[in-house]
């Protein structure tokens, strides 16, 4: 039995056909067809439960189940026609089922509304997306830890030293491995946010029906378990009318992209001729249509730019839900495109960085030279005085004066004479000044979480154990 032209599955009370412009404006099938697998899984769980509780006969269950499997096969084979006049993924599949098996298809919708149907489909997708991004984040974290371990020894057997910055001014020398482990720490929290979000959204709204539940003797715990949820939602209004699970997912995506955007900014800077710290692989860079010498860090720049669209998706959905009364409103059709886009964006950026970083080459000579600029060991000199009993604020002022003296004469601290050092403070000397190497500075930062080689090795080993 086919659906009459222009007649909607919900159109019993309507005397006119839907206006073409309304049909175009109302339809979501152009993007929500992506939920076809979740929709069919939800329907299979629902029809099986209806059979178990005696609402449907075994033959009806078998017929509907076979029809759904056949439709799934058609979609996966690219042989399914998605029709705009059927509005969304749910109505397309239901109408196709009716065409395939006849009126018995209508029994599938017993004790179910499109409201809880779309809610369960979307929760399934977002939960799976959160877990997939958690896994991809973990893999990039694993890459960061491997790179940290690799760069604890350069070609000469020494760790690669990088200038550490505050305000984008040279601050103190650090190990490149310490830099990698900072991003590994961020990604560990990002992974945790996705897993936390997946655990919190692990509830099935199926069986909430339109908003108030149903008089049918359904078993919501049965369908929740069949779909891999930990439990059913406790409140039917909340089950169909809330999208905070999607908001939490988008928030986790946004924080992840903020971290990846910071990484991108540093990758762009460090790969410039002016810095010269990093050579990106040809496979992950592009050229210019007019300037033959150019090698552009397009992956990093695009990742930095795409952070904005992910942030926008979060703000867009927050704006959608802030004024919607309980329970379901058509506004909530706007929940999906931003989630799909954020998932796709985060997934490809994570994969790209996992590919690109191990193929990138660091210039240890350039980073070491840069780490010694800008009087980066001045704090070590102040600490020397403080260890000798000089109040740190006094030591800070003494060393600040020496930095001023050195900068006015275009010298480094270790180039100051014995007389100049002793004039600043009797506990200082040229010998003390000459000990102010970046290697000694790095080696001395032995506090827990610091950049000293032994501390970074400990952090790497701990991270490897945590990653398994």
Q: Which residues are catalytic?
A: 167, 288
CA distances from 294 to 251, 284, 289, 360 (A): 36, 13, 9, 17
Burial code of 162-180, b = ≥16 C-beta within 10 A, e = fewer?
Answer: bbbeeeeebbbbbbbbbbb
Cα gap 102→117, rounded to integer Å: 21
- CA 129-194-353 angle, to 5 degrees, is 80
Beta-carbon contacts of 185 under 8 Å, excluding residues fewer than 6 positions away, are: none
Is the separation of the CB atoms in 71 and 100 below 8 Å? Answer: yes
183, 179, 181, 167: which is closest to 367 by C-alpha? 179
Q: Return the biggest CA–CA distance within the chain.
A: 102
- Dihedral in degrees, nearest 10, Cα atoms 11, 16, 20, 23: -20
In terms of DSSP H, where are the helices of 35-169? 36-52, 58-76, 89-101, 114-150
- CA 335-231-97 angle, to 5 degrees, is 60
Beta-carbon contacts of 258 under 8 Å, excluding residues fewer than 6 positions away, are: 307, 311
Q: Which helix (H) or strand (E) covers residue 315, if one does? A: helix 298-321
DSSP sequence for 200-254:
HT-EE-TT-TTTT--SS---HHHHHHHTT-SEE-S-HHHHHH--HHHHHHHHHHH
Count other C-beta atoms under 10 Å from residue 76's C-beta. 11
């Amino acid at each position: 039995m086919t659906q009459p032209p222009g007649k909607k599955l919900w159109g019993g009370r309507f005397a006119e056909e839907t206006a073409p412009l309304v049909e175009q404006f109302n339809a979501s099938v152009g993007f929500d067809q992506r939920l076809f697998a979740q929709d069919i899984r939800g329907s299979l769980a629902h029809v099986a439960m209806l059979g178990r509780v005696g609402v449907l006969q075994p033959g009806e269950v078998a017929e509907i189940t076979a029809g759904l499997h056949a439709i799934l096969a058609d979609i996966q084979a690219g042989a399914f026609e998605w029709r705009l006049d059927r509005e969304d993924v749910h109505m397309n599949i239901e109408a196709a089922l009716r065409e395939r098996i006849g009126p018995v298809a209508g029994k599938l919708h017993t004790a179910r509304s499109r409201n809880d149907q779309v809610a369960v489909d979307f929760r399934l997708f977002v939960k799976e997306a959160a877990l997939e991004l958690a896994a991809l984040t973990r893999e990039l974290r694993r890459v960061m830890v491997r790179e940290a371990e690799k760069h604890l020894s350069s070609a000469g057997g020494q760790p690669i030293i990088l200038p550490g910055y505050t305000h984008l001014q040279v601050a103190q020398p650090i190990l490149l491995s310490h830099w990698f482990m900072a991003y590994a720490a961020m990604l560990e929290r990002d992974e945790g946010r996705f897993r936390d979000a997946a655990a919190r959204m692990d509830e099935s709204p199926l069986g909430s029906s339109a908003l108030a539940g149903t008089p049918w003797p359904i078993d919501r715990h049965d369908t929740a378990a069949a779909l891999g949820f930990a439990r059913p939602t406790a409140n039917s209004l909340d089950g169909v009318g809330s999208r905070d699970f999607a908001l939490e997912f988008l928030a986790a995506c946004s924080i992840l992209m903020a971290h990846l955007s910071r990484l991108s900014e540093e990758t762009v800077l460090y790969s410039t001729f002016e810095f010269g710290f990093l050579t990106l692989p040809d496979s992950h860079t592009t050229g210019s249509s007019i300037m033959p010498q150019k090698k552009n860090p397009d992956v990093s720049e695009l990742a930095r730019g795409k952070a904005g669209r992910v942030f926008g998706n979060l703000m867009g959905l927050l704006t959608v839900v802030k004024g919607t009364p309980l329970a379901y409103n058509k506004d909530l059709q706007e929940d999906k495109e931003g989630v799909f886009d954020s998932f796709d964006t985060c997934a490809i950026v994570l994969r790209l960085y996992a590919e690109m970083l191990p193929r990138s080459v660091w210039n240890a000579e350039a980073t070491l030279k840069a780490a010694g600029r800008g009087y980066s060991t001045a704090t070590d000199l102040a600490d020397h005085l403080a260890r000798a009993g000089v109040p740190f604020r006094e030591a800070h002022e003494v060393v600040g004066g020496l930095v001023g003296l050195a900068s006015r004469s275009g010298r480094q601290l270790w180039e100051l004479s014995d007389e100049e050092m002793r004039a600043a403070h009797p506990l200082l000397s040229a010998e003390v000044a000459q000990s102010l190497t970046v290697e000694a500075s790095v080696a001395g930062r032995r506090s827990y979480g610091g950049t000293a080689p032994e501390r970074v090795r400990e952090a790497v080993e701990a991270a490897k154990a945590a990653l398994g």
